[in-house]
Amino acid sequence: MTVSDFDPTLVSIYPEKKYLLHFQWGLSSTVYRYALVETIKPNKIHSRTKQKEDEKNLTQKEIWKNKYAKNYSSIK
């Protein structure tokens, strides 16, 4: 059961982009915060893998660490 007020399944009804999203998985009480780090034009990202040219063959964790992480403890 989620205890957060934001329902990510309804994201399309929001008129403006969100800079922070909060999620919970399963029955966990832990809240995960996701921040908008980049906007990407459709022709600059692979439609299926959602990877940009310089991200090919990298895991999501590697992309995060290489491009966005300022504090490595955020992805432990």
Provide the pLDDT for residue 9: 72
**In this structure, is residue 51 part of a structural domain?**
yes
**In this structure, is residue 75 part of a structural domain?**
no
36, 18 contact by CB (below 8 A) = yes
Provide the pLDDT for residue 21: 83
The domain tally of the chain equals 2
Q: Give this prediction's pTM.
A: 0.64
Provide the pLDDT for residue 1: 45
Residues 26 and 51 grouped into a single domain: no
Terminal-to-terminal C-alpha distance of the chain: 24
Provide the pLDDT for residue 54: 94
Residues 30 and 58 grouped into a single domain: no
Using 70 as the pLDDT threshold, list the residues of the chain that sit under it: 1-8, 72-76
Provide the pLDDT for residue 39: 92
What are the distances in angstroms from CA 34 to CA 19, 43, 60, 75?
8, 24, 14, 11
